[in-house]
């Protein structure tokens, strides 16, 4: 697990360690395969050059290869990736063909860059940016290479695959802002690294962008004129359905129910998804019966939709924005303006037909009987009455249509909802009420972007299908809280401390430079799309994270019980738990900022980015405290990954770079001593010591206070030894005897080394160098092929796949040739 | 309410003897139905409530008051209460029968006998459909067409009563019904929102305004989104309303920049269309081909009926038909009226009452105000009541 030893508060966490063992176990199981022994010695160093090739595409490995470095795999146990970032398919391929297709190198080229959904009120953009290559201006790395005499620069082209789907919206009336945005990011040119896309649009002159919504027709000329692009118009309903199907299938925790303030995620069974009713609430409302991919029918709709709410609301309240109007509704009392059953029945229920006294008999019906004028009503009350009227109405008509076609599932999308709790509650209530509990309203977290997503996916049907195969991992940035300035004033007294806190975080944003030219994705800041967004739970702004396309996320198939695997060992649904981690992470923040700034050389620019990062991360934390489910289901791993994402977003490529470097150097310095010591042992003792070492290094790395103290006093190898001695068998998962028997044989059983071992490496420093490498070396001696598997992206002090080759190369230099 | 004047006038020259009165006290309006004997009939009114002789000719009168002006209503009843008899019970329905029960007791010494609202609506509707010729009609593209009701093939039908709110009732026979749905977006919404948006002083004024309005000013049409084009693939023409009031979003106009006529028109279309749609969906759910619309919202207003009809026609693809009732607003009151001695009277009236044209009925009311009459087309109808 990632090192947090700088933060002694975290201490040793038993659960996390257990998780380590669980991961280790299948590796050990895996070692049981029969495989004749191979020559071992000396080949390690030879393998080094192989490593580079393998990294490039992993194509050339032959029998003499000893260590296969990780390809695109990564473990994000500390990250938002809920599963091992390991492709099942790729591993199988590896075994049989030695053709690591893990990288899926061609997939992302098929993904084009920008799609638009131009509606009556809003323009929705979805665009894709690929992860850029690792930065190549790492001086230390160069020195390492120089020192090692590694001259080839191939590693730079190591394809970190995947990318991000960004979601942005503009008001249709401000289409020019949208065009400026596209133009500034050069989205219409296909972006920097979209080779295939460029190939058929050699210049900007005849670029084609997929677009849907009525505006795709209305504004076609404008886009041609301003950006020189043609719009390829996709049918609106097609796109809505494609987008919804995609989200439901590809995104975990996309759909949820919302009843009486309770948000609950719905597990979608992809084999039992259809049919469903899709209700898209934009300016107007479309209701679509969806029977499968591309199989659907628009069965109904209503003209009383988001446009009605905002249009009438604007006339009645003088609100300046949709979000303002929504916000007002939260403080409203519709009883002042709606005629309730109780008003007609003198406070009594009309039980016979199941109407309670608080049921609305007539929306706005009370405005009849009083002498009041518009100005006598509170805008809050008006807004709430309006919201209830429209939400109920939509819920009712939706249910009636679902009923008509026997559909039990109703998904609501469109920008009307905006993650607004009351709106969702009202719709859910209506569906529940009218269906007598039989039907359920479900909502989509990317509610507003169905059409745009669908248009995006219409680029190339093949690429699309591939996309579906991948797992999309959502993260939290891209819609930057720090960019959204609050324009409107609030009534002061209404502002809670939390709001102030958040507001602070959103206002003072130092302009942060764009990523260096020629890069997309990492870094890079978008112009805020809508000025109305806030960090509040009712605002759509943060409801949607950027989607990360991560190639092939699968649970590691060799796990004892892959179905039970849950990387989030700590569920933050419990509020006190959340509060605890909130505090820990907040306290740790200044220290982290220092590290991050230092990792970038402490320049003014990095300081500014450090500040911005701190504010952004704080804002995210604050939002999560307010609404833990804001970004989907929240576990500790997600929280930690959020932090990493946040760092990367502010171009701190690797905040722990120097720390990792220091730890690696210290460990490498003592490695020869350790190896000599190991080699002096009997084989049996050595095997045990090696496994203890693997475990010890990890525990040590998590760092209790005592360990931290030791760290300051003793040498690294002393600490390593001490922690190793603390390991008392039996361990929590203890397969050692079986392992030993297999490795060394017993009685008349012959040793039976494994054909291949996957070693999942974790932290830099002692963990990988003093723990894993010696074990790898031992396995190699027994003729087992060893694959080291590491993270693709930096996370705390985890060693990354990118760093491993250098570390292995360094280790090889000190490897005693016993 | 002018009914009062009407009664007084009659009282001077040729007093109407109210022998029976029932109330429907809704959220916005109080509806009254009462029976008066023909002038030639000189039976003792005090005994009338208990003794209906064989063969009583008379008239059913229909009157309404705003619920806020309930005192006018009380005054009216008070002025005529001598006719009711000694122990005074009035049949009443609607929420107000509960809410104002004490008031009636206190002010008039009258006990309200509460009848269930849905019961009354259905009874009233069934009565009208069976007993009154030319009660139901369709209204499409400005064409009013009376519908011949086949008594043997009346059920089932959907009754949509549009009062302040809307109730939708599936009717399977006399007394056999179920309230299957409803919506809070009804007449009260039109008038409530309309009052806030236009400063109109009355519901009728607001309705009137709508006739001169243009909904395209405020409504976002399909053509607005598609740059003037239809979205023909899903059957939406460019003039279809994509979003009611949706255009109020995109320009900087404020409320006072819009003509009240246009506001009223958009509002009326939004609500009528919505009611039509939900009604159709409910009719569809239960396989009902006939939908009758009642309640005071429509008020015989052609544009309202037109919009509802179009909505039903559009969503049902022509399969279902909206029908309207000429005594639309009095279903509940009529039902309450008929709940007096249901067994002996009900059947007879159904079969033997004779509706006479409104114009004819008004001839006896010398001071009758024709303007008022327009708004409430059916002041009275002539009936013959026989005892079983």
B277 — pLDDT class (breaks 50, 70, 90):
very high
Residues A793 and A689 in one domain: yes
Evaluate if residue A59 carries a pLDDT over 70: no
pLDDT, residue B365, reads 35
CATH T-level fold of B18-120+330-385: Nucleotidyltransferase; domain 5 (3.30.420)
Minimum mean pLDDT range among A11-15, A70-74, A284-288, B185-189: A11-15
Query: Is A298 within 8 Å of B234 when comparing Cβ atoms?
Result: yes
pLDDT, residue A800, reads 85
Minimum mean pLDDT range among A438-447, A452-461, B241-250, B338-347: B338-347
Nearest chain B residue (CA) to A301: B242
pLDDT, residue A481, reads 34
Residues A651 and A780 in one domain: no
Q: For residues B108-117, give the mean pLDDT.
A: 87
Q: For residues A443-450, give the mean pLDDT.
A: 88
Provide the H-helix boundaries in A286-371: 306-317, 322-329, 341-344, 366-369
**What is the value of ipTM here, to two decimals?**
0.82
Residues A48 and A103 in one domain: yes
Query: Is B188 within 8 Å of A345 when comparing Cβ atoms?
Result: no
B321 — pLDDT class (breaks 50, 70, 90):
confident
What residues of chain A, 113 to 152, have a C-beta less than 8 Å from chain B? Answer: 119-121
Nearest chain A residue (CA) to B114: A345
Q: Which of A117, A303, A358, A382 to mutate to test the interface with B (most CBs of B within 10 A)?
A: A303
| Assigned CATH for B136-218+258-325 | 3.30.420.40
What residues of chain B, 212 to 231, have a C-beta less than 8 Å from chain A? Answer: 218-220, 222, 224-229, 231
pLDDT, residue B320, reads 86
Using DSSP's 3-state secondary structure scheme, residue A471 falls into strand
Residue for token pair 């079986």: A738
A314 — pLDDT class (breaks 50, 70, 90):
very high
Residues A587 and A632 in one domain: yes
Say yes or no: B346 contacts chain A, CB-CB below 8 A.
Answer: no
CATH 3.30.420.40 in chain B is located at 18-120+330-385, 136-218+258-325
Evaluate if residue B206 carries a pLDDT over 90: yes
For residue B179, the chain A residues in CB contact (below 8 A) are: 353
A317 min Cα distance to partner chain B (Å): 9
Query: Is A344 within 8 Å of B245 when comparing Cβ atoms?
Result: no
For residue B181, the chain A residues in CB contact (below 8 A) are: 396, 400, 434
Among A234, A263, A293, give the residue marking a domain's end: A234
Evaluate if residue A816 carries a pLDDT over 80: no
Q: For residues B33-58, give the mean pLDDT.
A: 50
DSSP per position, A191-203: -SS-HHHHHH--S
For residue B192, the chain A residues in CB contact (below 8 A) are: 337, 339, 362-368
Element (H, E) at A683: helix A683-702
Query: Is A365 within 8 Å of B274 when comparing Cβ atoms?
Result: no
Q: Strands, DSSP E only, in A431-563?
A: 440-444, 471-474, 547-550
Closest of A238, A222, A228, A181 to residue A205, by C-alpha: A228
Cα gap A361→B26, rounded to integer Å: 11
pLDDT, residue B196, reads 93
Say yes or no: B105 contacts chain A, CB-CB below 8 A.
Answer: no
A315 min Cα distance to partner chain B (Å): 5
Among A609, A624, A655, give the residue marking a domain's end: A655
Count of A–B CB contacts within 8 Å?
241
Among A620, A640, A655, give the residue marking a domain's end: A655
pLDDT, residue B138, reads 92
Average pLDDT, chain A: 68
Residues A807 and A788 in one domain: yes
Cα gap A199→A180, rounded to integer Å: 25
For residue A345, the chain B residues in CB contact (below 8 A) are: 95, 98-99
A368 min Cα distance to partner chain B (Å): 5
A281 — pLDDT class (breaks 50, 70, 90):
very high
What residues of chain B, 62 to 101, have a C-beta less than 8 Å from chain A? Answer: 66-68, 94-96, 98-101
Task: Tell me if A322 is assigned to some domain.
Answer: no
What residues of chain A, 352 to 391, have a C-beta less than 8 Å from chain B? Answer: 352-353, 359-369, 373-374, 377, 382, 389
For residue A396, the chain B residues in CB contact (below 8 A) are: 181, 183, 278
Minimum mean pLDDT range among A21-30, B169-178, B320-329: A21-30
Task: Tell me if A339 is assigned to some domain.
Answer: no
Which domain range does residue A579 map to?
A: 1-33+571-655
Nearest chain A residue (CA) to B231: A214
Residues A724 and A605 in one domain: no
pLDDT, residue A295, reads 92
Q: For residues B149-173, give the mean pLDDT.
A: 92
Task: Tell me if A432 is assigned to some domain.
Answer: no
Q: How far is CA B247 from CA A532, A533, B192, B244, B260, in A?
A: 19, 22, 21, 8, 15
Q: For residues B212-236, give the mean pLDDT.
A: 81
Q: Which of A213, A277, A304 to mutate to test the interface with B (most CBs of B within 10 A)?
A: A304
Residues A636 and A778 in one domain: no
Three-state secondary structure readout of A608-652? HHHHHHHHHHHHHHHHHHHCCCECECCEHHHHHHHHHHHHHHCCC
Residue A233 near residue A211, CB atoms below 8 Å: yes
Say yes or no: B183 contacts chain A, CB-CB below 8 A.
Answer: yes
Task: Tell me if A195 is assigned to some domain.
Answer: yes
| Whether residue A275 has a cis bond before it, omega within 30° of 0 | yes
Q: For residues A370-383, give the mean pLDDT.
A: 88
For residue A218, the chain B residues in CB contact (below 8 A) are: 225-228
Sheet architecture: strand order including A547-550: A229-233, A207-212, A114-118, A122-130, A163-171, A547-550, A471-474
pLDDT tens for residues A562-615?
777 776 677 777 778 888 888 888 888 888 888 888 888 888 888 888 888 888
Paired tokens of A82: 């809920």
Say yes or no: B238 contacts chain A, CB-CB below 8 A.
Answer: no
- With 0-12 / 13-18 / 19 or more C-beta atoms within 10 angstroms meaning exposed / middle / buried, residue A601 is exposed
Which residue in A219, A308, A392 is closest to B245 by CB distance? A308
pLDDT, residue A493, reads 33
Which of A38-42, A249-253, A350-354 is predicted most confidently?
Answer: A249-253
Tell me how crowded residue A612 is: count the other CB atoms within 10 A of its CB. 25
Nearest chain B residue (CA) to A286: B242
pLDDT, residue B183, reads 94
pLDDT, residue B366, reads 33
Task: Tell me if A682 is assigned to some domain.
Answer: yes
Residues A706 and A723 in one domain: yes
Domain count, chain A: 3
pLDDT tens for residues A6-40?
333 322 222 222 222 233 333 323 333 333 322 22
Q: For residues B42-52, give the mean pLDDT.
A: 35
Which residue in A236, A360, A400 is closest to B281 by CB distance? A400
Cα gap A264→A262, rounded to integer Å: 6
Residues A75 and A219 in one domain: yes
pLDDT tens for residues B231-260?
777 677 777 888 999 998 876 788 889 999
Q: Which residues pair with residue A86 across a beta bridge?
A: A554
pLDDT, residue A51, reads 26
Task: Tell me if A363 is assigned to some domain.
Answer: no
pLDDT, residue B274, reads 95
């Amino acid at each position: 697990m990632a090192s947090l030893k700088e933060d002694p508060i975290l201490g040793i966490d038993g659960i996390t360690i257990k998780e380590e063992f669980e991961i280790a176990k299948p590796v050990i199981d895996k070692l049981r395969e029969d495989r004749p022994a191979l020559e071992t010695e000396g080949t390690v160093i030879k393998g080094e050059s192989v490593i580079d090739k393998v990294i490039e595409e992993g194509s050339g490995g032959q029998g003499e290869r000893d260590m296969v470095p990780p390809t695109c795999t990564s473990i994000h146990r500390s990250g938002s990736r809920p599963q091992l970032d390991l492709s099942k398919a790729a591993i199988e391929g590896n075994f049989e063909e030695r053709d690591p297709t893990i990288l899926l190198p061609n997939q992302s080229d098929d993904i084009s860059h920008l799609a638009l959904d131009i509606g009556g009120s809003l323009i929705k953009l979805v665009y894709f940016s690929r992860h850029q290559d690792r930065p190549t201006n790492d001086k230390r790395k160069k020195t390492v290479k120089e020192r090692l005499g590694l001259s080839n620069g191939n590693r730079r082209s190591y394809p970190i695959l995947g990318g991000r789907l960004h979601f942005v919206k503009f008001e249709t009336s401000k289409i020019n802002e949208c065009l400026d945005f596209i133009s500034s990011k050069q989205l219409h040119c296909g972006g920097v690294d979209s080779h295939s896309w460029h190939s058929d649009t050699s210049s900007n002159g005849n670029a084609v962008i997929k677009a849907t919504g009525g505006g795709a027709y209305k504004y076609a000329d404008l886009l041609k004129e301003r950006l020189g692009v043609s719009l390829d118009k996709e049918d609106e309903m097609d796109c809505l359905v494609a987008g919804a199907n995609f989200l439901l299938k590809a995104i975990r925790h996309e759909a949820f129910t919302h009843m009486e303030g309770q948000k609950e995620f719905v597990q979608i069974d992809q084999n039992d998804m259809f049919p469903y009713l899709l209700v898209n609430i934009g300016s107007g409302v479309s209701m679509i019966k969806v029977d499968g991919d591309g199989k659907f029918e628009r069965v109904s709709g209503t003209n009383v939709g988001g446009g009605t709410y905002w249009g009438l609301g604007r006339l009645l309240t003088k609100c300046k924005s949709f979000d303002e109007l929504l916000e007002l509704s939260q403080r409203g009392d519709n009883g002042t303006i709606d005629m309730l059953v109780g008003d007609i029945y003198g406070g009594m229920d009309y039980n016979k037909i199941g109407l309670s006294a608080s049921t609305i008999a007539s929306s706005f019906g009370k405005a009849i009987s009083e002498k009041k004028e518009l100005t006598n009503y509170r805008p809050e009350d008006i807004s709430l009455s309006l919201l209830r009227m429209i939400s109920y109405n939509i819920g009712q008509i939706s249910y009636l249509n679902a009923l008509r076609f026997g559909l039990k599932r109703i998904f609501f999308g469109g920008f009307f909802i905006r993650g607004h709790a009351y709106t969702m509650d009202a719709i859910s209530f209506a569906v529940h009420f009218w269906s007598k509990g039989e039907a359920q309203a479900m909502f989509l977290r990317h509610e507003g972007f169905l059409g745009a997503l669908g248009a995006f996916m219409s680029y190339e049907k093949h690429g699309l299908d591939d996309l579906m195969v991948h797992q999309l991992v959502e993260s939290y940035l891209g819609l930057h809280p720090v960019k959204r300035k609050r324009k409107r004033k609030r009534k002061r007294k209404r502002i809670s401390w939390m709001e102030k806190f958040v507001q602070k975080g959103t206002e003072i944003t130092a302009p942060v430079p764009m990523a260096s030219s020629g890069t997309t994705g990492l870094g890079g800041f978008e112009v805020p799309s809508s000025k109305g967004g806030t960090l509040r739970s009712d605002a759509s702004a943060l409801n949607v994270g950027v989607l990360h396309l991560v190639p092939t996320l699968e649970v590691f198939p060799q796990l004892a019980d892959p179905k039970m695997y849950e990387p989030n060992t700590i569920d933050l649904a419990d509020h006190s738990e959340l509060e605890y981690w909130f505090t820990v992470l907040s306290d740790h923040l200044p220290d982290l900022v220092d590290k991050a700034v230092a990792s970038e050389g402490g320049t003014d620019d990095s300081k500014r980015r450090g500040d911005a990062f701190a504010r952004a991360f704080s804002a995210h934390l604050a939002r999560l405290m307010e609404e833990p489910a804001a970004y989907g289901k929240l576990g500790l791993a997600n929280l930690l990954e959020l932090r990493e994402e946040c760092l990367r977003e502010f171009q701190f490529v690797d905040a722990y770079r120097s720390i990792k470097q220091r730890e690696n150097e210290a460990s490498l310095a003592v490695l020869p001593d350790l190896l000599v010591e190991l080699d002096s042992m009997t084989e049996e003792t050595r095997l045990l010591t090696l496994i203890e070492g693997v475990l010890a290094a990890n525990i040590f790395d998590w760092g209790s206070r005592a360990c931290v103290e030791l760290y300051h006093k003793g040498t690294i190898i002393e600490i390593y030894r001490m922690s190793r001695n603390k390991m008392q068998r039996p361990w929590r998962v203890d397969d050692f005897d079986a392992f030993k028997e297999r490795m060394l044989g017993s009685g008349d059983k012959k040793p039976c080394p494994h054909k291949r071992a996957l070693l999942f490496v974790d932290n830099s420093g002692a963990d990988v160098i003093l723990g894993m490498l010696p074990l790898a070396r031992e396995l190699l001696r027994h003729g087992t092929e060893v694959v080291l598997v590491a993270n693709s992206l930096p996370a705390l002090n985890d060693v990354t796949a990118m760093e491993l080759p250098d570390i292995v190369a360094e280790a090889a230099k000190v490897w005693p040739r016993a | 309410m002018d009914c009062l004047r009407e009664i007084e006038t009659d009282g001077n020259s040729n007093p109407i003897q109210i022998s029976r009165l029932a109330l429907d006290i809704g959220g916005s309006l109080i509806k009254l139905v009462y029976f008066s004997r023909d002038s030639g009939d000189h039976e003792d009114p005090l005994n009338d409530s208990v003794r209906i002789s064989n063969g009583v000719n008379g008239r059913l009168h229909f009157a309404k008051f705003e619920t806020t002006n309930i005192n006018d209503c009380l005054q009216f009843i008070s002025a005529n209460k001598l006719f009711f008899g000694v122990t005074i019970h009035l049949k009443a329905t609607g929420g107000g029968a509960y809410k104002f029960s004490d008031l009636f007791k206190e002010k008039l010494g009258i006990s309200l006998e509460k009848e269930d609202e849905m019961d009354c609506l259905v009874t009233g509707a069934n009565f009208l459909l069976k007993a009154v010729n030319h009660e139901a009609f369709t209204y499409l593209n400005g064409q009013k067409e009376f519908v011949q009701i086949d008594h043997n093939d009346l059920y089932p039908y959907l009754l949509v009563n549009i009062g302040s709110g809307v109730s939708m009732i599936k009717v399977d026979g006399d007394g056999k019904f179920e309230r299957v749905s409803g919506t809070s977006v009804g007449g009260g919404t039109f008038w409530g929102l309309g009052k806030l948006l236009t400063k109109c002083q009355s519901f009728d004024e607001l309705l009137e305004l709508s006739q001169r309005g243009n909904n395209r000013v405020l409504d976002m049409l399909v053509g607005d989104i598609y740059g003037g084009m239809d979205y023909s693939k899903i059957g939406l023409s460019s003039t279809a309303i994509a979003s009611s009031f949706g255009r109020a979003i995109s320009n900087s106009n404020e409320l006072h920049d819009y003509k009240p006529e246009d506001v009223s028109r958009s509002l009326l279309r939004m609500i009528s269309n919505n009611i039509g749609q939900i009604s159709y969906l409910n009719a569809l759910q239960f396989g009902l081909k006939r939908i009758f619309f009642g309640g005071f919202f429509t008020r015989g207003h052609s544009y309202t009926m037109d919009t509802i009809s179009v909505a039903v026609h559009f969503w049902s693809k022509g399969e279902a038909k909206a029908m309207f009732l000429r005594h639309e607003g009095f279903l509940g009151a009529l039902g309450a009226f008929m709940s007096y001695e249901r067994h002996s009277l009900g059947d007879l009236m159904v079969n033997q009452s004779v509706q006479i044209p409104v114009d004819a009925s008004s001839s006896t009311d010398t001071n009758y105000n024709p303007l008022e009459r327009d708004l409430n087309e059916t002041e009275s109808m002539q009936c013959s009541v026989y005892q079983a």
